Amino acid sequence: DRLPAGFVYRDRAAPGVRWDARYATSNNFMGRPADGYRVNRVVCSLACAEALISAQRAAKEKGLGLFVFDAYRPKRAVRDFCAWARDENDTLRKALHYPNTEKRDLIPQGYIAERSGHSRGSSTDLTLCDANGAFLDMGGRFDLMDPSSWHFSPLVTRAQTENRELLRSIMLESGFSDYDKEWWHYLL
Protein backbone atom coordinates (compact mmCIF):
# COMPACT_ATOMS: atom_id res chain seq x y z
CA ASP A 1 0.00 0.00 0.00
CA ARG A 2 3.05 2.24 0.31
CA LEU A 3 4.12 4.31 -2.69
CA PRO A 4 7.33 6.23 -3.45
CA ALA A 5 7.42 9.93 -2.61
CA GLY A 6 5.50 12.00 -5.13
CA PHE A 7 3.09 9.20 -6.12
CA VAL A 8 -0.49 8.68 -4.97
CA TYR A 9 -3.39 6.34 -5.52
CA ARG A 10 -5.69 8.19 -7.87
CA ASP A 11 -8.82 7.11 -5.95
CA ARG A 12 -7.47 8.69 -2.75
CA ALA A 13 -6.06 11.83 -4.36
CA ALA A 14 -8.81 12.60 -6.90
CA PRO A 15 -12.14 11.49 -5.46
CA GLY A 16 -15.01 11.31 -7.91
CA VAL A 17 -12.86 10.22 -10.84
CA ARG A 18 -13.93 6.71 -11.83
CA TRP A 19 -11.41 4.08 -12.91
CA ASP A 20 -10.72 0.58 -14.12
CA ALA A 21 -7.00 -0.20 -14.29
CA ARG A 22 -7.31 -2.14 -17.55
CA TYR A 23 -3.77 -3.54 -17.50
CA ALA A 24 -4.46 -5.18 -14.13
CA THR A 25 -7.23 -7.16 -15.85
CA SER A 26 -7.71 -9.21 -19.01
CA ASN A 27 -9.80 -6.42 -20.58
CA ASN A 28 -6.95 -4.96 -22.65
CA PHE A 29 -5.12 -5.46 -25.95
CA MET A 30 -3.09 -8.41 -24.61
CA GLY A 31 -6.11 -10.23 -23.16
CA ARG A 32 -4.30 -10.76 -19.84
CA PRO A 33 -2.93 -8.70 -16.94
CA ALA A 34 0.33 -6.91 -17.73
CA ASP A 35 3.45 -7.64 -15.73
CA GLY A 36 3.71 -5.21 -12.81
CA TYR A 37 -0.01 -4.62 -12.27
CA ARG A 38 -1.01 -6.40 -9.08
CA VAL A 39 -4.33 -4.76 -8.19
CA ASN A 40 -7.03 -2.83 -9.99
CA ARG A 41 -5.97 0.62 -8.80
CA VAL A 42 -4.53 3.57 -10.63
CA VAL A 43 -1.34 5.22 -9.38
CA CYS A 44 -0.13 8.59 -10.65
CA SER A 45 2.22 11.38 -9.74
CA LEU A 46 0.91 14.00 -7.35
CA ALA A 47 1.06 16.57 -10.17
CA CYS A 48 -1.03 14.31 -12.41
CA ALA A 49 -3.58 13.79 -9.61
CA GLU A 50 -3.88 17.55 -9.09
CA ALA A 51 -4.40 18.11 -12.82
CA LEU A 52 -7.01 15.32 -12.86
CA ILE A 53 -8.88 17.09 -10.05
CA SER A 54 -8.99 20.21 -12.23
CA ALA A 55 -10.16 18.18 -15.24
CA GLN A 56 -12.83 16.44 -13.15
CA ARG A 57 -14.16 19.83 -12.00
CA ALA A 58 -14.35 21.01 -15.62
CA ALA A 59 -16.12 17.80 -16.70
CA LYS A 60 -18.55 18.04 -13.79
CA GLU A 61 -19.51 21.58 -14.87
CA LYS A 62 -20.70 19.96 -18.10
CA GLY A 63 -22.63 17.20 -16.28
CA LEU A 64 -19.91 14.66 -17.02
CA GLY A 65 -17.08 12.85 -15.27
CA LEU A 66 -13.70 11.29 -15.97
CA PHE A 67 -13.05 7.56 -16.27
CA VAL A 68 -9.36 6.59 -16.04
CA PHE A 69 -7.92 3.41 -17.58
CA ASP A 70 -4.25 3.90 -16.72
CA ALA A 71 -1.70 6.37 -15.36
CA TYR A 72 1.59 5.20 -13.80
CA ARG A 73 2.91 2.19 -15.70
CA PRO A 74 5.74 0.07 -14.30
CA LYS A 75 8.73 -0.29 -16.63
CA ARG A 76 8.28 -4.07 -16.54
CA ALA A 77 4.79 -3.55 -18.01
CA VAL A 78 6.29 -1.48 -20.84
CA ARG A 79 8.73 -4.35 -21.50
CA ASP A 80 5.80 -6.81 -21.36
CA PHE A 81 3.86 -4.74 -23.94
CA CYS A 82 6.89 -4.74 -26.26
CA ALA A 83 7.48 -8.50 -25.87
CA TRP A 84 3.80 -9.09 -26.63
CA ALA A 85 4.01 -6.84 -29.73
CA ARG A 86 6.99 -8.80 -31.03
CA ASP A 87 5.19 -12.16 -30.61
CA GLU A 88 3.40 -12.31 -33.95
CA ASN A 89 1.76 -15.64 -33.01
CA ASP A 90 -0.37 -14.04 -30.27
CA THR A 91 -3.23 -12.39 -32.15
CA LEU A 92 -6.03 -13.17 -29.67
CA ARG A 93 -7.23 -9.54 -29.47
CA LYS A 94 -6.48 -8.40 -33.04
CA ALA A 95 -10.13 -7.96 -34.05
CA LEU A 96 -10.82 -5.73 -31.04
CA HIS A 97 -7.63 -3.71 -30.70
CA TYR A 98 -5.68 -3.60 -33.98
CA PRO A 99 -7.92 -4.90 -36.79
CA ASN A 100 -6.33 -2.78 -39.52
CA THR A 101 -2.73 -2.74 -38.29
CA GLU A 102 -0.17 -5.52 -38.52
CA LYS A 103 1.17 -6.47 -35.12
CA ARG A 104 4.78 -5.99 -36.27
CA ASP A 105 3.89 -2.34 -37.00
CA LEU A 106 2.46 -1.47 -33.56
CA ILE A 107 5.82 -0.26 -32.17
CA PRO A 108 7.10 1.51 -35.33
CA GLN A 109 3.75 3.29 -35.80
CA GLY A 110 3.79 4.59 -32.21
CA TYR A 111 0.90 2.61 -30.75
CA ILE A 112 3.18 0.79 -28.31
CA ALA A 113 6.15 2.67 -26.86
CA GLU A 114 9.48 1.16 -25.88
CA ARG A 115 9.82 4.03 -23.38
CA SER A 116 6.73 5.58 -21.85
CA GLY A 117 5.87 8.77 -19.99
CA HIS A 118 3.46 6.57 -18.07
CA SER A 119 6.50 5.17 -16.20
CA ARG A 120 7.05 8.65 -14.71
CA GLY A 121 3.43 8.82 -13.56
CA SER A 122 2.87 11.88 -15.71
CA SER A 123 0.61 10.36 -18.37
CA THR A 124 -2.95 9.15 -18.13
CA ASP A 125 -5.39 7.29 -20.36
CA LEU A 126 -9.03 8.24 -19.88
CA THR A 127 -12.41 9.07 -21.33
CA LEU A 128 -15.52 11.03 -20.42
CA CYS A 129 -18.56 9.40 -18.87
CA ASP A 130 -22.06 10.52 -17.97
CA ALA A 131 -23.44 10.67 -14.42
CA ASN A 132 -24.17 6.92 -14.52
CA GLY A 133 -20.65 6.02 -15.63
CA ALA A 134 -21.56 5.29 -19.27
CA PHE A 135 -18.80 6.29 -21.67
CA LEU A 136 -19.40 9.00 -24.25
CA ASP A 137 -19.08 7.69 -27.79
CA MET A 138 -15.55 8.50 -28.90
CA GLY A 139 -15.69 6.50 -32.11
CA GLY A 140 -13.61 3.58 -30.93
CA ARG A 141 -12.59 1.72 -27.85
CA PHE A 142 -9.73 2.56 -25.52
CA ASP A 143 -6.52 1.03 -26.94
CA LEU A 144 -7.83 0.70 -30.49
CA MET A 145 -4.53 0.92 -32.36
CA ASP A 146 -5.84 2.30 -35.62
CA PRO A 147 -5.96 5.59 -37.56
CA SER A 148 -9.59 5.94 -36.45
CA SER A 149 -8.23 6.61 -32.93
CA TRP A 150 -6.28 9.70 -34.01
CA HIS A 151 -7.66 12.90 -32.50
CA PHE A 152 -8.61 14.38 -35.83
CA SER A 153 -9.42 11.20 -37.72
CA PRO A 154 -11.82 11.62 -40.65
CA LEU A 155 -12.96 8.04 -39.98
CA VAL A 156 -15.34 8.95 -37.13
CA THR A 157 -18.63 10.82 -37.07
CA ARG A 158 -19.07 14.49 -36.30
CA ALA A 159 -20.62 13.66 -32.90
CA GLN A 160 -17.70 11.39 -32.01
CA THR A 161 -15.23 14.10 -33.08
CA GLU A 162 -17.09 16.60 -30.87
CA ASN A 163 -16.86 14.22 -27.89
CA ARG A 164 -13.13 13.81 -28.48
CA GLU A 165 -12.69 17.55 -28.76
CA LEU A 166 -14.64 18.08 -25.53
CA LEU A 167 -12.31 15.68 -23.69
CA ARG A 168 -9.29 17.27 -25.33
CA SER A 169 -10.35 20.81 -24.39
CA ILE A 170 -10.95 19.78 -20.76
CA MET A 171 -7.56 18.10 -20.56
CA LEU A 172 -5.63 20.90 -22.28
CA GLU A 173 -7.25 23.50 -20.01
CA SER A 174 -6.18 21.37 -17.03
CA GLY A 175 -2.53 21.45 -18.03
CA PHE A 176 -2.20 18.24 -20.03
CA SER A 177 -1.04 17.87 -23.62
CA ASP A 178 -2.41 15.33 -26.06
CA TYR A 179 -0.95 12.53 -28.16
CA ASP A 180 -2.29 12.81 -31.69
CA LYS A 181 -2.60 9.04 -32.32
CA GLU A 182 -4.69 8.22 -29.23
CA TRP A 183 -7.77 10.24 -28.30
CA TRP A 184 -7.54 8.86 -24.72
CA HIS A 185 -3.85 9.62 -23.96
CA TYR A 186 -2.75 12.80 -22.14
CA LEU A 187 0.51 13.80 -20.50
CA LEU A 188 1.88 16.58 -18.30
Q: Which residues are catalytic?
A: 182
CA 173, 120, 109: angle at the middle one, nearest 5? 80
Q: How many CB atoms lie within 10 A of CB 24?
A: 19
Q: How far, CA to CA in Å, does 180 sit from each of 7, 24, 83?
A: 26, 25, 24
CB 135 within 8 A of CB 129: yes
Question: Cα(164)–Cα(53) distance, rounded to whole angstroms?
Answer: 19
Question: Cα(18)–Cα(2) distance, rounded to whole angstroms?
Answer: 21
Identity at 173, one-letter amino acid code = E
Question: Cα(101)–Cα(144) distance, rounded to whole angstroms?
Answer: 10
CA 21, 112, 6: angle at the middle one, nearest 5? 50
